[in-house]
Structure 1
């Protein structure tokens, strides 16, 4: 926290332009940022002549809670959700843009914490926050836009899976869902599990690596493994069959599930917000490091099966329907 800020300072006292100056001062940018914050728009290098772009909106009380997470953790989570989408296209990130809406009574320390988290996750990916906007609102809302470069490759979309392809996973799944379940019970530990809900750890480099290895389709696991594979199945017109035995349940998740009286496999199959990557590869492919085969693609009516059968339970998160 800036030593000049006291807990009583709010956005109403600092003002929009004071906040922008506060959260951008002293920040360094990588060479790809040709013009950073401070003008009408930023300028970011695009040597590929194509720009990959995605946006996510996070609303306090829906996607994060500041009584469960620090502002910095919420900022990192907001950035990670977008950077994982860039990776899922087989691209590398080049810049972040941030829109923030919040009550004028919001403490400046909270907003600085959010900014610190956004910048920290951006720096971990070798990029910066190049611009954005601030507006007054009745709720705290963070909107992040990520830009990326394909580096001369074709994008890896959801619609390229073909019968016979291997289905592979990179990154952890189920951890964020387990952490959320723990928090809902009023606990704050195990720290590793709760931390997974607060700040995901997407395998950013695995997306471009998969593209180089010939991935035919890819998506990040934001809504749940089965739900997101369902998007691939629908876009590709194929059936996806996941092997339950290929999904290793970590001992820590087994322990937490036992304490909460639930099946940990359910977290792996339906839990979102870990932002792992799942992709399909041609049969016989040599997979990049970190990728594990978890199923196959077959001909059939678009669907996702587990061991050849529909999964008996909710399939994942949908923002407008629950089920």
Structure 2
């Protein structure tokens, strides 16, 4: 089965930028990289630039701890630098805050921002503040790729090995708890850290890379579309799904694959490596003190083949990605439709 449902977000972005002239110094094509890649004139050095913000996550209560909100405003941007293998120079922040916000809440946001850049060994370079009806925290992260060889989403070929820096599903498990589980019964802490060190090492081996900030299925689907090939996962989804997600799946009767499919991601790196370099990567991985999980392989067919309780499934991942825009105000309906999409695959 060839999966061909167009992704609404991709179409929206294509329409937004269709009249823009791209810089002659820009290395990456549209949607081919987590960060924009600009070759500095007269050098081999590439400047990586990315921008992102959080607002709905705060207003919905998903991030109701202001230190967590500040932390996330930093990490969503640094994760994009990690996915291209850039060394961060720092961030420029943008904060829109209501007049009535408490001083302590403002200070907690700043502490979260401070803690995040400290954890990643980088800096806040400046920023801008505004007043508005609701809180919006955003940033622009800058990084350097001094050897001029970035990772992008494009470049994998059939036979390459599919890997991830960590088990996916934690981000969606956290969101599930916040939306459906009483506060006194929640157990999941969510403060993901951008995989900057891993990205810098992986860059030497990867043929393609993307972060999983929009969820694991979305990451695979985007790689599939950019490269025109698909993926076959070696192991059952329960083998490589985060334990927190598996525990929730068991307790609530929800399919574990749902925690791979929803849009609140994990900020892991999902990448491919030519099969001939997998052992070499394993040696560097051990020296770097972190683990790489090999979960599948690249195939010619532009589809994603999962193994769920021993059965092969090829869900329409474009359809799955499009579900959220129809159920953004109805989390229960979104959950039901995700389950149905997998049951019908």
Aligned-pair CA distance for 1:164: 1.1
Which sections of structure 2, spanning at least 5 residues, go unmatched? 1-42, 328-336, 338-345
Instruction: State the SS of the aligned residue for 1:62.
Output: helix
Query: For 1:128 and 1:203, how far apart are their aligned partners in 2?
Result: 16
Aligned-pair CA distance for 1:66: 5.2
Partner of 2:295: 294
Deviations 1:254-306 (A, max 9, x none): 33222222122321354532111100100132233411111111113x33232
1:129 aligns with 2:146: no
Aligned pairs for 1:252-271 within 5 A: 252-270=244-262
Aligned pairs for 1:74-113 within 5 A: 74-113=69-108
Task: Give the length in aligned residue pairs.
Answer: 271
Q: Which deviates more from structure 2 when the two are superposed, residues 201-210 or residues 81-90?
A: 201-210
Q: Which deviates more from structure 2 when the two are superposed, residues 103-112 or residues 312-321?
A: 312-321
Aligned-pair CA distance for 1:242: 2.4
Contact 1:224–1:315 (CA under 8 A) maintained in structure 2 = no
Aligned pairs for 1:65-214 within 5 A: 65=60, 69-188=64-183, 192-193=187-188, 195-196=189-190, 199-212=191-204, 214=205
Per the alignment, do residues 102 and 183 of structure 1 end up closer, same or farther by CA in structure 2, a change over 3 Å counting?
same
Contact 2:120–2:194 (CA under 8 A) maintained in structure 1 = no
Contact 2:46–2:148 (CA under 8 A) maintained in structure 1 = no
Aligned-pair CA distance for 1:102: 2.0
Deviations 1:170-218 (A, max 9, x none): 024211211111111242366652x12xx22333211111112x10100
1:233 aligns with 2:224: yes
Per the alignment, do residues 317 and 202 of structure 1 end up closer, same or farther by CA in structure 2, a change over 3 Å counting?
farther
Contact 1:227–1:317 (CA under 8 A) maintained in structure 2 = no
Contact 1:201–1:274 (CA under 8 A) maintained in structure 2 = no
Which sections of structure 1, spanning at least 5 residues, go unmatched? 1-46
Instruction: State the SS of the aligned residue for 2:260.
Output: helix
Partner of 1:279: 271
1:315 aligns with 2:310: no
Query: For 1:189 and 1:242, how far apart are their aligned partners in 2?
Result: 37
Partner of 1:10: none
Per the alignment, do residues 186 and 239 of structure 1 end up closer, same or farther by CA in structure 2, a change over 3 Å counting?
closer
Partner of 2:52: 56
Per the alignment, do residues 210 and 111 of structure 1 end up closer, same or farther by CA in structure 2, a change over 3 Å counting?
same
Alignment RMSD (CA, Å): 2.6
Per the alignment, do residues 177 and 189 of structure 1 end up closer, same or farther by CA in structure 2, a change over 3 Å counting?
farther
Instruction: State the SS of the aligned residue for 2:240.
Output: coil
Match of 1:220 among 206, 211, 219: 211
Instruction: State the SS of the aligned residue for 1:205.
Output: helix
Contact 1:242–1:295 (CA under 8 A) maintained in structure 2 = yes
Query: For 2:215 and 2:97, how far apart are their aligned partners in 1?
Result: 29
Aligned pairs for 1:35-50 within 5 A: 49-50=45-46
Query: For 1:57 and 1:221, how far apart are their aligned partners in 2?
Result: 16
Partner of 1:305: 305
Contact 1:72–1:118 (CA under 8 A) maintained in structure 2 = yes
Deviations 1:16-37 (A, max 9, x none): xxxxxxxxxxxxxxxxxxxxxx
Query: For 1:290 and 1:97, how far apart are their aligned partners in 2?
Result: 31
